[in-house]
């Protein structure tokens, strides 16, 4: 996980405190309606115990971060992240809604506002709280299969009907060795009977030790013709302080070795050619390539060496930014598969409409994009990072079928 400065943490705590002060101000307008002074006092005391406890814990965790066992540190950070979101977002909505209602109530509500304004304000805060709880405890593990078919003019006929499972962003450390949570996902993948499984990076949050025991689970993944993978930005150990370069190198090597253990061909700026009835297709994989502040380990030209004369290529590249910068138009790569964005683990997907705040950072953030017979698919990720849940952006398994459109 990324580390944040003490100043950033204090700013976060200040934001939490300001929202809580405003929320408490409006909460008092609701508790005044209670007949029991004891109940009113209990609610207010509970409110401030939670607020002070959360802010104090976040600051203490930051100060003592280096002294905490790495596994426990990762667990604590994700839990406090979830608590902070669960506290901040509902209260922010509560404050905004009840403020709007209060300052317009003389126009719209008149004398009934004494009851209606607090009631609507309370509901506006309570509902998001339960939605967030659902996102943490249920939606984070409600794996969804996306099935799409793509027609290509240059796909060799022998590969028409090819079935690909695309998965990405496991972030296994976030599951804290709860191995069974991925069993439904493994079963869902294997039921599709894929020809190939492609994994597009971020197996871990930062450390090779996160992989302990997961080999037994991921070895269950079955593909008829091959399993391929690339590294993501979190697989390089860049988000931790290391005593020396050798320790960081060993960490990365441990992650690389894990892919071999689970039967995946890890493509490190390299490619392979697969043959069907004398017709050939190239599978290309680059190391992580992203716009700053993400590092660019990827070398596309190196990865493409040896593919002269191969007319159809599939590229695995973790960060979808790579497609617009180096792939689309500049190459003849037909299909690029990426992950990285997680769909921000929050958004709206209803029938044909999809939206997530991440769209304001990434032009291509989730789903299929195409231009002139070149396509990019961005997987929304199977695991989670930071916020320990998903809101309207379920963990994804993608089944892609390729067809010859000639």
Mean pLDDT within 371-379? 96
Q: Across the chain, which distance is largest between two alpha carbons, in Å?
A: 83
Residue 92 neighbours by CB distance under 10 Å: 16
Number of H helices, E strands in the chain: 9, 14
- Residue ranges of alpha helices (H) inside 262-361 are 300-304, 321-322
DSSP classification of residue 388:
S
Q: What is the DSSP string of 67-114?
A: GS-HHHHHHHHHHHHHHHHHHHHHHHHHHHHHHHHHHHHHHHTGGGHH
Q: Is 109 exposed, middle or buried (0-12, 13-18, 19+ CB in 10 A)?
A: middle
Q: What is the C-alpha to C-alpha distance for residues 207 and 257, in angstroms, rounded to an integer?
A: 13
Q: Label residue 3 by pLDDT band (50, 70, 90).
A: low
Lowest pLDDT segment from 130-134, 195-199, 311-315: 130-134
- Mean pLDDT over residues 356-370, rounded? 97
Can you tell me which residue has the tokens 């700013």?
11
8 Å CB contact between 323 and 338:
yes
- Cα–Cα separations (whole angstroms), residue 148 to 344, 396, 399: 22, 13, 6
- Domain residue limits, the chain: 6-137, 142-404
Mean pLDDT check: name the lowest of 68-72, 274-278, 285-289: 68-72
pTM recorded for the entire structure: 0.90
The pLDDT of residue 308 is above 80: yes
> Strand pairing of 335-338 and 313-316?
parallel
- pLDDT score at 263: 98
pLDDT confidence of residue 28 = 84
pLDDT at residue number 339: 98
What is the reported pLDDT for 116? Answer: 63
pLDDT for the residue numbered 206: 94
Q: What is the DSSP letter of 253?
A: H
* Dihedral pair phi/psi, residue 63, rounded to 5°: -65, -35
- Domain 142-404 superfamily per CATH: Metallo-dependent phosphatases (3.60.21.10)
Spatial separation of the C-alpha atoms in residues 189 and 183, rounded to whole Å: 10
User: Nearest CA to 143 among 343, 383, 386, 388?
Assistant: 383
| 111 pLDDT above the threshold of 60 | no
Q: What was the pLDDT predicted at 107? A: 45
Distances (CA, A) of 382 to 123, 227, 230, 335: 32, 17, 15, 21
* pLDDT single digits (tens) 51-87: 999 899 888 888 877 666 677 777 777 878 888 888 8
Buried-state track 136-155, b at ≥16 Cβ within 10 A, e below 16: beebbbebbebeeebebeeb
pLDDT at 149 over 80: yes
CA dist 294 to 31, 107, 139, 315, Å?
48, 51, 29, 19
Q: What's the angle, vertex CA 124, arms to CA 119 and CA 126, rounded to 5?
A: 90
Residue 316 is inside which H or E element, if any? strand 313-316
Residue 98: what pLDDT?
A: 81
Q: How far apart are CA 196 and CA 365, in angstroms?
A: 23
H-helix segments, 236-390: 245-261, 300-304, 321-322
Is residue 103 very low, low, confident or very high in pLDDT (cuts 50, 70, 90)? confident
H/E stretch holding 151 reads strand 144-152
What sign does the dihedral 346-348-349-352 (CA atoms) show?
A: negative
CA neighbor of 110 nearest in space, from 101, 100, 98, 120: 101
Please report the pLDDT score of residue 2 as a whole number: 58
Confidence band, pLDDT 50/70/90 cuts, at residue 33: confident
How many Å apart are CA 355 and CA 315, to the nearest integer?
26
Residues 196-222, mean pLDDT to the nearest whole number:
97
The DSSP H or E segment spanning 20 is helix 6-31
Check if the beta carbon of residue 273 is closer than 8 Å to that of residue 308: no
Residues 6+ apart with CB under 8 A from 19: 88, 91, 92, 95
- Provide the pLDDT for residue 108: 47
Residue 189 clears pLDDT 70, i.e. is over it: yes
Mean pLDDT across the chain, nearest whole number?
91
- Whether the predicted pLDDT of 248 surpasses 90: yes
């Amino acid at each position: 996980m990324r580390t944040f400065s003490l100043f950033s943490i204090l700013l976060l705590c200040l934001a939490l405190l300001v929202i809580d002060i405003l929320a408490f101000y409006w909460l008092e307008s609701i508790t005044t309606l209670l007949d029991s002074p004891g109940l009113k006092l209990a609610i207010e005391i509970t409110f401030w115990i939670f607020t002070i406890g959360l802010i104090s814990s976040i600051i203490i965790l930051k100060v003592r971060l280096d002294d905490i066992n790495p596994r426990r540190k990762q667990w604590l950070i994700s839990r406090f992240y979830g608590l902070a979101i669960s506290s901040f977002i509902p209260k922010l909505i509560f404050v905004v809604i009840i403020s709007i209602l209060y300052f317009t109530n003389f126009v719209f509500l008149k004398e009934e506002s004494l009851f209606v304004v607090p009631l609507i304000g309370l509901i506006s805060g309570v509902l998001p709280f339960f939605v967030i709880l659902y996102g943490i405890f249920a939606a984070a593990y409600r794996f969804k299969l996306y099935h799409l078919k793509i027609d290509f003019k240059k796909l060799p006929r022998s590969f028409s009907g090819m079935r690909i499972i695309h998965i990405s962003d496991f972030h296994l450390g976030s599951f804290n060795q709860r191995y069974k949570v991925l069993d439904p996902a493994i079963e869902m993948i294997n039921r599709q009977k894929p020809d190939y499984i492609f994994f597009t990076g971020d197996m871990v949050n930062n450390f090779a030790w996160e992989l302990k025991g997961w080999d037994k689970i991921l070895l269950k993944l079955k593909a008829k013709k091959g399993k391929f993978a690339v590294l993501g930005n979190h697989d390089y150990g860049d988000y931790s302080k290391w005593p020396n370069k050798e320790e960081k190198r060993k960490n990365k090597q441990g992650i690389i070795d894990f892919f071999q253990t689970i039967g995946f061909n890890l493509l490190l700026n390299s490619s392979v050619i697969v043959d069907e009835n004398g017709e050939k297709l190239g599978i290309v994989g680059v190391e992580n390539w992203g716009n700053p502040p993400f590092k660019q380990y990827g070398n596309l030209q190196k990865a493409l060496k040896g593919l002269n004369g191969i007319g159809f290529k599939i590229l695995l590249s973790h960060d979808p930014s790579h497609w617009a910068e180096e792939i689309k138009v500049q190459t003849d790569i037909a299909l690029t598969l990426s992950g990285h964005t997680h769909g921000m683990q929050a958004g709206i997907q209803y029938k044909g409409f999809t939206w997530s705040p991440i769209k304001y950072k990434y032009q291509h953030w989730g789903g299929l994009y195409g231009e002139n017979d070149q396509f990019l698919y961005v997987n929304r990720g199977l695991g989670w990072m930071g916020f320990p849940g998903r809101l309207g952006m379920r963990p994804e398994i993608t089944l892609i079928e390729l067809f010859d459109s000639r």
